[in-house]
Structure 1
């Protein structure tokens, strides 16, 4: 090969490398595609979170779910796309799925003779993808669903769960709203903190995370109010609270507010609907440790000519 030809070959190779290099550098600067956050179009992953023994010898299997979307909520009616197997497909699971993760959302009771190899499977099909949670009684999966293995204090040992009743209408006509008036009784334990928990020394200011310059904008997360407990944030409610969620229904419901401090044994909120249909609204009273829940069935009718 002549010197001139060799020079042309090396020049061509160098030009090719320089042409590809900017694209490679740009690719390396892009965020990990597996770290993308999606507004919609993703599926829902059911989760088996463990089992616990009941006083009568039966077992409670606890389930939650992860809606991988940050904005899209969805209804998945009980049936081929939302079912338990074996046995009855309806085990009280939700049919309306709020965004992101919901831990120990419900439990399914199985008999004492269930055995250690028999499985209970919850399947969800969303956007053509089927995900499953497989539950079985294996020793390593036994959990403490209330205290999480924490050591109980003398006050905790005396604590009794709250009790609640709900007074509301069972039928409304759009655009009417629904008033949910709950009466909640509790023993006042555990004693609520009088002020928010103070951060540890050196942790007074939370970290600030800055995205890469070319990182896609993170979608707005439409918050779903969990049914549990006191506010976990520094300014969250302390003591006895009542939370509302849509358990079953064709669309999201706006609760104003969704989490209420119980005052003088009462907690009132207003539910606003956007779509007619049959709904199950779940209210959960929580004293910080123990809970009581009530389901309210509501028929929402389309607007009609009242005159």
Structure 2
């Protein structure tokens, strides 16, 4: 099941601010490079009408660490308000900036002056960001690309079951419109092994109680498929994220791969039960 067809807002997103008077917000993108010990900022990316008549509010995050991955379970330290705390947000946070990781569907009648707030607390530091239907925050695909490029369609297949420590093959099927054509590398260019100049899928843990090790985090899409293997350190229920990128948006931002344009990637989640 596809959980989020990710799209980019015309702006750079609404970043969280720490609550309370006298609080000094931590820098979002210009902080000193620290591998660990830092906090997370939730980000509201914008909103867009859904085909079913609802409206999608898109959220992402900025993990200020350069290497440390963080886990925040759903509850008092990771929740939405008002209403249900669990809106499909991640509980596992990869380093650095991650755009449009998930969307929250609200009815078309959702008031313009109403907000849906995502709150994150880590290491005693709380940040929250409001999502709303303000006109200036509407996603406008046409402003970002005039090529007619459309996002890939991803099929993650059925739920899976595996034992602790056993290698599990993960495969997704991806359909794309072929725009843009794969680019040959520039003469003399040295791109990191995780960067592809063509369609690819990047794998990561989205939810789950233990560590997940992937044989290959970023893999090219070949014959409409992308495959890797994963092992799970602890029993429980996991969601594994597959981000299918058509090759046109993958960029380097402070050493991390960050999708950019709205047309060009889709995320899906595979449910894995580990026994």
TM-score bin, normalised by smaller chain: 0.7 to 0.9
Distance in 2, matches of 1:109 and 1:35, equals 32
1:285 to 244, 256, 263: 244
Structure 1 residues 137 and 259: CA distance shift in structure 2, 3 A: same
C-alpha displacement of 1:205: 9.3
Distance in 1, matches of 2:201 and 2:194, equals 16
More strand by share: 2
C-alpha displacement of 1:196: 3.0
Structure 2 residue runs of 5 or longer lacking an equivalent are: 1-29, 248-262
Residue of structure 2 equivalent to 1:181: 171
SS at match of 1:166: coil
Residue of structure 2 equivalent to 1:130: 126
Residues 1:71 and 2:60 are matched in the alignment:
no
Equivalent residues in 2 for 1:96-107, closer than 5 Å: 96-107=92-103
**Contact residue 156 and residue 269 of structure 2 kept, 8 A:** no
Cα shift readout 1:152-185 (whole Å, capped 9, x = no counterpart) = 22xx26x573342436x72222321111123333
**Contact residue 197 and residue 234 of structure 1 kept, 8 A:** no
**Contact residue 31 and residue 64 of structure 2 kept, 8 A:** no
Structure 1 residue runs of 5 or longer lacking an equivalent are: 1-33, 199-203, 207-230, 302-307
* Comparing 285-294 and 83-92, the one that deviates more: 285-294
Residue of structure 2 equivalent to 1:248: 207
Structure 1 residues 56 and 181: CA distance shift in structure 2, 3 A: closer
Structure 1 residues 163 and 36: CA distance shift in structure 2, 3 A: closer
**Contact residue 248 and residue 280 of structure 1 kept, 8 A:** yes
Residue of structure 1 equivalent to 2:105: 109
**Contact residue 73 and residue 252 of structure 1 kept, 8 A:** no
SS at match of 2:173: strand
- Larger Rg over CA atoms: 1
1:166 to 149, 153, 157: 157
Structure 1 residues 193 and 256: CA distance shift in structure 2, 3 A: same
More helix by share: 1
Residue of structure 2 equivalent to 1:43: 39
Residues 1:294 and 2:268 are matched in the alignment:
yes
